[in-house]
Amino acid sequence: MNAAFDPPSPSAWQSAQALIGQDVADIDTPALVVDLDAMERNLAHMAAYARAHGLRLRPHAKMHKSADLARLQMAHGAVGVCVQKTDEALALARAGVTDIYISNEVIALPKLKRLAEAVQALPDTRFAIAVDSAAGVLRLAQALEAAGVGGEGRIDVFVEVDVGHGRCGVPPGEPAVDLARLIAQHPVLRFGGQQAYHRQAQHRRDPADRAKAIGEAAWAAALTRERLQAAGFTVPLITGAGTGTFALETSSRVWGELQAGSYLFMDADYARNESAPLAPVFEHALFIKAHVMSRGAQHAVCDAGHKSHAIDSGLPTVWSPSGLVFANGGDEHGILRATHAGHPLPNLGDTVWLVPGHCDPTVNLHNMMLGVRGGLTEGKVERLFRVDARGALG
């Protein structure tokens, strides 16, 4: 594994167990808190949705990076999880997750070596990966061979098609056929189908804009499937979609698997999307507990800044107390102001609950999440979720 990546140590994890049973009021701040009741409703809601529509659900574990949460999702019908990074896959595999898809390109030799060694060492764990270049296919096959991985179809390989987001992926149509042919030349690889995800579509506020983007993406994915089939390939699966658009991918009947991840926690950014017809609505389940550590005449200062929550998708919103807005106070501070004159500000020492702007990089700032049962006022810590793949960048 990458020596630069270091998950929470067993001893620190063990000492953290003392937090179980603690009253919410006693949680030291800033802390990342999961409202278990809300999370379980989101979990069940999404599982029911996928089941009702006959779709596979493979939630993106890049969001929570937790083997326990991955297992919980799989216990509720998910076929496995996605990740974006080799070391995320290895961290979750080591923690016992048995079906992991790296929905991203890996062409660096040391990473492919680590992955191939894991494929060889963990024969009961199913790995899959995306490619968008001939080099990606060839280097993967060579790394598997070098690690002594034999047999047929030991890893599923998905060809990523750029269905509109302009990041990774080959253009729709023939380029995907070329890569499928290359994959077919290596029996150790199995052609899994298409990776088709439209990142920017997730956060377009107007549902009509999201529908337009996913309509185009569906066309690109369907066109590519036609070309693959015309060339004699079976396309086992088209996989993609996120929390902002999955109802659209579902309606299109082009996708067979949904990769939404944020639905489990819901962040402030996704909550700013205007809701769309047919799309289930999820609850906020991830919070930052902070407290007021300084008071001015017209503002309060809390102890959570952007070392405790990511601000790439906007600042946190204030969940409670009501009537407050969060302004940027730097790495370690948040400035709280009243939304209208005369509204009371919280006092020194008061608890403040924030909803992070973007859950994925927020979770990555923490070693663990505290799962609370019974609400954010009267609840108790019931369990901890270790962020097993925190900092797994490689």
Span interacting with a second copy, options 70-78, 182-190, 207-215, 362-370, rule CB under 8 A: 362-370
CB of 134 to a second copy, least distance (A): 9
CB of 289 to a second copy, least distance (A): 11
| CB closer to a second copy out of 205 and 307 | 307
Which listed residue (293, 338, 374, 383) binds a second copy by CB under 8 A? 293
Which listed residue (35, 49, 55, 85) binds a second copy by CB under 8 A? 85
Span interacting with a second copy, options 39-47, 68-76, 98-106, 146-154, rule CB under 8 A: 98-106
Which listed residue (66, 73, 84, 250) binds a second copy by CB under 8 A? 84
Q: Is 108 in the site for a second copy (CB under 8 A)?
A: yes
Q: Is 146 in the site for a second copy (CB under 8 A)?
A: no
| CB closer to a second copy out of 30 and 379 | 30
User: According to CB under 8 A, which residues from 179 to 208 bind a second copy?
Assistant: 199
User: According to CB under 8 A, which residues from 300 to 359 bind a second copy?
Assistant: 301, 303-304, 306-308, 310-312, 328-333, 335, 348-349
Span interacting with a second copy, options 150-158, 207-215, 294-302, 375-383, rule CB under 8 A: 294-302
Q: For residue 239, what are its two tokens?
A: 């996989």
| CB closer to a second copy out of 15 and 229 | 15
Span interacting with a second copy, options 41-49, 51-59, 188-196, 361-369, rule CB under 8 A: 361-369
Q: Is 291 in the site for a second copy (CB under 8 A)?
A: yes
Q: Is 6 in the site for a second copy (CB under 8 A)?
A: yes
- Judged by CB under 8 A, how many residues of this single chain contact a second copy? 72
| CB closer to a second copy out of 108 and 281 | 108
| CB closer to a second copy out of 58 and 390 | 390
Q: Is 242 in the site for a second copy (CB under 8 A)?
A: no
- What pairing do the DSSP bridges indicate for beta strands 351-355 and 368-373? unpaired
Can you give the three-state secondary structure of the chain, one letter per residue?
A: CCCCCCCCCHHHHHHHHHHCCCEHHHCCCCEEEEEHHHHHHHHHHHHHHHHHCCCEECCECCCCCCHHHHHHHHHCCCCCEEECCHHHHHHHHHCCCCEEEEEEECCCHHHHHHHHHHHHHCCCCEEEEEECCHHHHHHHHHHHHHCCCCCCCCEEEEEEECCCCCCCCECCCHHHHHHHHHHHCCCCEEEEEEECCCCHHHHCCCHHHHHHHHHHHHHHHHHHHHHHHHCCCCCCCEEECCCCCHHHHHHHCCCCEECCCHHHCCCHHHHCCCCCCCCCCCCCCEEEEEEEEEECCCCEEECCCCCCCCCCCCCCEEEECCCEEEEECCCCCEEEEECCCCCCCCCCCCEEEEECCCHHHHHCCCCEEEEEECHHHHCEEEEEEECCCCCCCC
Q: Is 272 in the site for a second copy (CB under 8 A)?
A: no
CB of 269 to a second copy, least distance (A): 12
Q: How far apart are CA 255 and CA 393, in angstroms?
A: 28
Q: For residue 22, what are its two tokens?
A: 């603690």
Q: Is 16 in the site for a second copy (CB under 8 A)?
A: yes
- Inter-residue contact 144 to 155 (CB < 8 Å): yes
**Which is nearest to 193 in space by CA: 225, 164, 216, 153?**
225
Residue with tokens 């326990």: 68
User: According to CB under 8 A, which residues from 375 to 394 bind a second copy?
Assistant: 391, 393-394
- Inter-residue contact 179 to 143 (CB < 8 Å): no
CB of 75 to a second copy, least distance (A): 26
Q: Is 105 in the site for a second copy (CB under 8 A)?
A: yes
User: According to CB under 8 A, which residues from 153 to 172 bind a second copy?
Assistant: 162, 166-169
Sorted by sequence, the CB contacts under 8 Å of residue 315 that are 6+ apart come out as: 326, 327, 328, 357
User: According to CB under 8 A, which residues from 126 to 145 bind a second copy?
Assistant: 132-133, 135
Which listed residue (110, 148, 153, 232) binds a second copy by CB under 8 A? 110
Q: Is 20 in the site for a second copy (CB under 8 A)?
A: no
CB of 330 to a second copy, least distance (A): 6
Q: Is 269 in the site for a second copy (CB under 8 A)?
A: no
